[in-house]
Amino acid sequence: MAKYRNALPQMSGEMFLTDGGIETCLIFHDGLDLPYFAAFTLLDRDAGRQALRDYFGRYARLAVDGGHGFILESPTWRASADWGEKLGYDAEAMARVNRDAIALMAELRERYETPASKFVISGCLGPRGDGYDPGAPMDAGEARAYHSAQIGAFAEAGADMVTAITMTNVPEATGLALAARDAGMPCAISFTTETDGRLPSGEALGAAVAAVDAATGDGPAYYMINCAHPSHFEDAVTAGGAWLERVRGVRANASTKSHAELDEAETLDEGDPHDLGRRLRALTRIMPNLTVFGGCCGTDHRHVTTIRDACVQARAA
């Protein structure tokens, strides 16, 4: 049963953490095989589910120790129809996997949540195509239809919200937001950017937020930025604009490398956790509603710890 679907606590201005780069952590640190970066495959075996419990537990404790909220982002970034087909999962199996992922998040909430640390369960969705390359984007209607099955499974399983991670283009983000509204689910849209602060499809970040809002009647609960180093989008943010008020979260990459460079890398670039914390702290000064903090590719609990501590200092200043 959804607990916060009708009143997301991260909208109140309280500080919320989320996890780091789940796929890079599980592959490079835990030595797990994730075909197509599909962490959802771990749900099909006991050892895999335990690996996910261990992974999320590290971050959950960071939130509880600091008295902060936490967003449990389900390990389902790749758990949509096309990716499932590549891995031998039919529609029924994909619906089961998405429900199982939310059930695991509910188990973790039951274990870790405290009155001071609210745990929001979010069903995570990724792009239909590659997260670094938009290819030939769907139109909004196609995206609405494509993402509806996964969103429906999350709604049925009791997720509080859905979060679209690493969105590369406006039409897919628009369709996904409409599909979430169809299912009665609040959603967050998280765009990724290239090193120039623009989406992989070329849209300016602020223009992308404005376009999705215009097409959906301000449908998303809020927006985020992920899978980019702060140095990639700092100029876009510094330029200002009303769109910044709609952005509540950042899940930054550890590395300053471009998507193309990361795609070709054979080793994990963990960057500088302390520099990442300082950069996120600086962003809080110019992004008035920034309350959700986590990591993306290359980050782990060390990075999220430094981000937490730096942003706590910023909020106390």
- DSSP-assigned beta bridge partners for residue 123: 162
- DSSP-assigned beta bridge partners for residue 17: 70, 293
CB 221 within 8 A of CB 11: yes
CB 57 within 8 A of CB 112: yes
Per the listing, tokens 């897919």 go with: 172
Beta strands in 50-113 (DSSP E): 69-73
Per-residue pLDDT, 315? 78
Q: 144 vs 264, which has greater pLDDT?
A: 144
118: left (phi over 0), alpha (psi -120 to 50) or beta: beta
Q: What spatial distance separates the first Cα and last Cα of the chain, rounded to whole Å?
A: 38
- Strand 187-191 and strand 119-125: pairing? unpaired
pLDDT, tens digit (0-9, with 9 covering 90-100), for 31-76? 999 999 999 999 999 999 999 999 999 999 999 999 999 999 999 9
Report phi then psi at 77, rounded to 5.
-55, -35
CB within 8 A of 313, min separation 6: which ones?
281
State the average pLDDT for the chain. 95
Does pLDDT of 306 surpass 70? yes
Per-residue pLDDT, 77? 98
What is the C-alpha separation between 248 and 221, in angstroms, rounded?
9
What is the C-alpha separation between 96 and 177, in angstroms, rounded?
22
DSSP string, 178-219: HHHHHTT--EEEEE---TTSB-TTS-BHHHHHHHHHHHHTS-
**For 127-136, 192-201, 229-238, 273-282, which range has the lowest pLDDT when averaged over its residues?**
127-136
What is the C-alpha separation between 242 and 161, in angstroms, rounded?
24
pTM over 0.95: yes
Does pLDDT of 142 surpass 90? yes
Element (H, E) at 307: helix 301-316
Average pLDDT over residues 133-150: 92
Q: How many helices (H) and strands (E) does the chain have?
A: 11, 8
Does pLDDT of 230 surpass 90? yes
Per-residue pLDDT, 317? 67
Per-residue pLDDT, 124? 98
pLDDT, tens digit (0-9, with 9 covering 90-100), for 78-102? 999 999 999 999 999 999 999 999 9
pLDDT, tens digit (0-9, with 9 covering 90-100), for 257-296? 888 888 777 788 899 999 999 999 999 999 999 999 999 9
Does pLDDT of 148 surpass 80? yes
What is the C-alpha separation between 56 and 287, in angstroms, rounded?
27
What is the C-alpha separation between 240 and 56, in angstroms, rounded?
34
For residue 307, name the pLDDT band (cuts at 50, 70, 90): very high
CB 151 within 8 A of CB 180: yes
Report CA-CA distances (Å) from 84 to 25, 87, 93, 119.
21, 5, 8, 28
What is the C-alpha separation between 42 and 47, in angstroms, rounded?
8
Per-residue pLDDT, 313? 83
DSSP string, 219-245: -SSEEEEESS-HHHHHHHHHT--GGGG
Average pLDDT over residues 160-179: 97
Per the listing, tokens 């992974």 go with: 55
* Positive or negative: CA dihedral 178, 180, 181, 183: positive
